[in-house]
Protein backbone atom coordinates (compact mmCIF):
# COMPACT_ATOMS: atom_id res chain seq x y z
CA UNK A 1 0.00 0.00 0.00
CA UNK A 2 1.41 3.37 -0.96
CA UNK A 3 1.77 6.17 1.61
CA UNK A 4 -1.15 8.01 -0.02
CA UNK A 5 -3.39 4.92 0.14
CA UNK A 6 -2.36 4.34 3.76
CA UNK A 7 -3.97 7.68 4.67
CA UNK A 8 -7.26 6.80 2.94
CA UNK A 9 -8.56 4.08 5.21
CA UNK A 10 -11.46 3.42 7.53
CA UNK A 11 -10.60 3.52 11.21
CA UNK A 12 -14.11 2.73 12.44
CA UNK A 13 -17.31 1.27 11.06
CA UNK A 14 -20.60 1.48 12.89
CA UNK A 15 -23.91 0.03 11.80
CA UNK A 16 -26.91 1.93 13.09
CA UNK A 17 -28.51 -0.44 15.58
CA UNK A 18 -32.02 0.79 14.76
CA UNK A 19 -31.47 -0.31 11.15
CA UNK A 20 -30.56 -3.88 12.11
CA UNK A 21 -32.95 -6.79 12.47
CA UNK A 22 -32.31 -9.53 15.00
CA UNK A 23 -30.24 -12.26 13.39
CA UNK A 24 -28.87 -15.71 13.98
CA UNK A 25 -25.49 -16.25 15.63
CA UNK A 26 -24.04 -17.23 12.23
CA UNK A 27 -25.08 -13.95 10.64
CA UNK A 28 -23.93 -11.89 13.64
CA UNK A 29 -20.54 -13.65 13.47
CA UNK A 30 -20.31 -12.94 9.72
CA UNK A 31 -21.01 -9.25 10.39
CA UNK A 32 -18.38 -9.05 13.15
CA UNK A 33 -15.78 -10.76 10.95
CA UNK A 34 -16.55 -8.35 8.08
CA UNK A 35 -16.01 -5.34 10.34
CA UNK A 36 -12.81 -6.79 11.82
CA UNK A 37 -11.40 -7.65 8.37
CA UNK A 38 -12.47 -4.28 7.00
CA UNK A 39 -10.63 -2.38 9.72
CA UNK A 40 -7.54 -4.56 9.35
CA UNK A 41 -7.14 -3.89 5.62
CA UNK A 42 -9.10 -1.44 3.50
CA UNK A 43 -8.85 1.35 0.98
CA UNK A 44 -11.50 4.02 1.29
CA UNK A 45 -11.02 7.34 -0.45
CA UNK A 46 -13.96 9.75 -0.54
CA UNK A 47 -13.95 12.17 -3.46
CA UNK A 48 -12.63 15.56 -2.33
CA UNK A 49 -11.10 14.31 0.92
CA UNK A 50 -7.45 15.19 1.33
CA UNK A 51 -6.56 12.59 3.93
CA UNK A 52 -8.02 10.04 6.30
CA UNK A 53 -8.53 8.04 8.33
CA UNK A 54 -12.32 7.99 8.22
CA UNK A 55 -15.21 6.94 10.41
CA UNK A 56 -18.13 5.34 8.61
CA UNK A 57 -21.68 4.89 9.84
CA UNK A 58 -24.04 2.74 7.79
CA UNK A 59 -27.79 3.07 8.18
CA UNK A 60 -31.08 3.01 6.32
CA UNK A 61 -33.25 6.06 5.85
CA UNK A 62 -36.40 6.20 3.76
CA UNK A 63 -35.44 3.03 1.94
CA UNK A 64 -31.98 4.29 1.03
CA UNK A 65 -28.53 3.28 2.19
CA UNK A 66 -26.84 6.09 4.14
CA UNK A 67 -23.08 6.29 4.34
CA UNK A 68 -22.08 8.96 6.84
CA UNK A 69 -18.36 9.63 6.53
CA UNK A 70 -16.23 11.78 8.82
CA UNK A 71 -12.50 12.42 8.65
CA UNK A 72 -10.02 15.25 9.05
CA UNK A 73 -11.65 18.32 7.50
CA UNK A 74 -14.21 16.08 5.80
CA UNK A 75 -17.81 15.22 6.56
CA UNK A 76 -20.33 13.96 4.05
CA UNK A 77 -23.43 11.81 3.73
CA UNK A 78 -23.99 9.70 0.65
CA UNK A 79 -27.43 8.24 -0.03
CA UNK A 80 -27.68 5.28 -2.38
CA UNK A 81 -30.76 3.69 -3.83
CA UNK A 82 -31.07 0.07 -2.77
CA UNK A 83 -32.92 -0.96 -5.94
CA UNK A 84 -29.79 -2.22 -7.75
CA UNK A 85 -28.94 -4.42 -4.75
CA UNK A 86 -32.34 -5.99 -4.01
CA UNK A 87 -32.10 -9.03 -6.28
CA UNK A 88 -28.49 -9.76 -5.34
CA UNK A 89 -29.26 -9.40 -1.63
CA UNK A 90 -32.31 -11.67 -1.91
CA UNK A 91 -30.24 -14.34 -3.68
CA UNK A 92 -27.38 -13.83 -1.21
CA UNK A 93 -29.76 -14.47 1.74
CA UNK A 94 -30.96 -17.68 0.16
CA UNK A 95 -27.50 -19.01 -0.55
CA UNK A 96 -26.25 -18.01 2.91
CA UNK A 97 -29.06 -20.04 4.48
CA UNK A 98 -27.98 -22.99 2.34
CA UNK A 99 -24.35 -22.42 3.30
CA UNK A 100 -25.02 -22.27 7.06
CA UNK A 101 -27.11 -25.43 6.76
CA UNK A 102 -24.44 -27.15 4.66
CA UNK A 103 -21.62 -26.49 7.13
CA UNK A 104 -23.62 -28.39 9.74
CA UNK A 105 -24.67 -31.41 7.71
CA UNK A 106 -23.02 -31.70 4.29
CA UNK A 107 -19.86 -33.14 2.84
CA UNK A 108 -16.86 -30.89 2.24
CA UNK A 109 -17.45 -30.96 -1.53
CA UNK A 110 -21.08 -29.91 -1.08
CA UNK A 111 -20.03 -27.10 1.26
CA UNK A 112 -17.45 -25.95 -1.28
CA UNK A 113 -20.03 -25.88 -4.08
CA UNK A 114 -22.44 -23.75 -2.03
CA UNK A 115 -19.59 -21.50 -0.91
CA UNK A 116 -18.52 -20.92 -4.53
CA UNK A 117 -22.02 -19.67 -5.31
CA UNK A 118 -21.99 -17.49 -2.20
CA UNK A 119 -18.64 -15.97 -3.18
CA UNK A 120 -19.91 -15.32 -6.70
CA UNK A 121 -22.91 -13.38 -5.41
CA UNK A 122 -20.66 -11.57 -2.97
CA UNK A 123 -18.41 -10.52 -5.84
CA UNK A 124 -21.42 -9.39 -7.87
CA UNK A 125 -22.70 -7.31 -4.94
CA UNK A 126 -19.30 -5.71 -4.40
CA UNK A 127 -19.07 -4.82 -8.10
CA UNK A 128 -22.49 -3.15 -8.02
CA UNK A 129 -21.43 -1.26 -4.90
CA UNK A 130 -18.22 -0.02 -6.54
CA UNK A 131 -20.23 1.12 -9.57
CA UNK A 132 -22.74 2.94 -7.33
CA UNK A 133 -19.89 4.62 -5.42
CA UNK A 134 -18.03 5.70 -8.58
CA UNK A 135 -17.23 9.40 -8.36
CA UNK A 136 -18.12 9.43 -4.66
CA UNK A 137 -15.85 6.93 -2.90
CA UNK A 138 -12.99 4.86 -4.30
CA UNK A 139 -12.51 1.42 -2.74
CA UNK A 140 -10.66 -1.72 -3.64
CA UNK A 141 -12.40 -5.05 -4.33
CA UNK A 142 -11.92 -6.51 -0.84
CA UNK A 143 -13.18 -3.35 0.88
CA UNK A 144 -16.29 -3.36 -1.33
CA UNK A 145 -16.90 -7.06 -0.56
CA UNK A 146 -16.82 -6.44 3.18
CA UNK A 147 -19.04 -3.37 2.85
CA UNK A 148 -21.51 -5.46 0.84
CA UNK A 149 -21.66 -7.94 3.74
CA UNK A 150 -22.56 -5.05 6.06
CA UNK A 151 -25.16 -3.72 3.63
CA UNK A 152 -26.75 -7.16 3.67
CA UNK A 153 -26.81 -6.96 7.48
CA UNK A 154 -29.09 -3.95 7.14
CA UNK A 155 -31.54 -6.02 5.08
CA UNK A 156 -31.37 -9.29 6.94
CA UNK A 157 -34.74 -10.82 7.69
CA UNK A 158 -35.27 -11.61 11.37
CA UNK A 159 -34.33 -15.21 12.16
CA UNK A 160 -34.25 -17.45 15.21
CA UNK A 161 -31.08 -17.40 17.26
The confidence score (pLDDT) of residue 2 equals 47
Q: Is the pTM of this model over 0.85?
A: no
CA dihedral sign, ordered 78, 83, 84, 86: positive
| Per-residue tens of pLDDT for the chain, all 161 residues | 444 456 899 999 998 877 666 666 766 777 888 899 999 999 999 999 999 999 999 998 888 999 999 999 999 999 999 999 989 988 988 887 888 888 888 888 888 888 888 889 989 999 999 999 999 999 999 999 999 988 887 765 444 43
DSSP string spanning the chain? --HHHHHS-EEEEEE-GGGPPP--HHHHHHHHHHHHHHHHS--EEETT--S--EEEEEEEETTEEEEEEEETTEEEEEEEESHHHHHHHHHHHHHHHHHHHHHHHS-HHHHHHHHHHHHHHHHHHHHHHHHHHTTTEEE-HHHHHHHHHHHHHHHPPP---
Q: What is residue 6's predicted lDDT score, i.e. its pLDDT?
A: 61
Model confidence pLDDT, tens digit, residues 129-152? 999 999 999 999 999 999 998 888
pLDDT at 41: 94
Average pLDDT taken over every residue of the chain: 86
Structure confidence at residue 80 (pLDDT)? 95
The pLDDT value recorded for residue 43 is 95
Q: Give the C-alpha distances (Å, rounded to integers) separating 85 from 1, 29, 93, 99.
A: 30, 22, 12, 20
Q: Where are the domains of the chain?
A: 3-155
Model confidence pLDDT, tens digit, residues 28-41: 777 888 899 999 99
* Total Cβ atoms within 10 A of residue 143: 23
Amino acid sequence: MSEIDAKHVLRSVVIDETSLASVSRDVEHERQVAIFDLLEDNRFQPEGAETGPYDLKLSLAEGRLCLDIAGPNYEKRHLLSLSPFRGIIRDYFLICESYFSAIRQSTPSQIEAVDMGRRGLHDEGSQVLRERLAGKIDTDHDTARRLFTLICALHRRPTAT
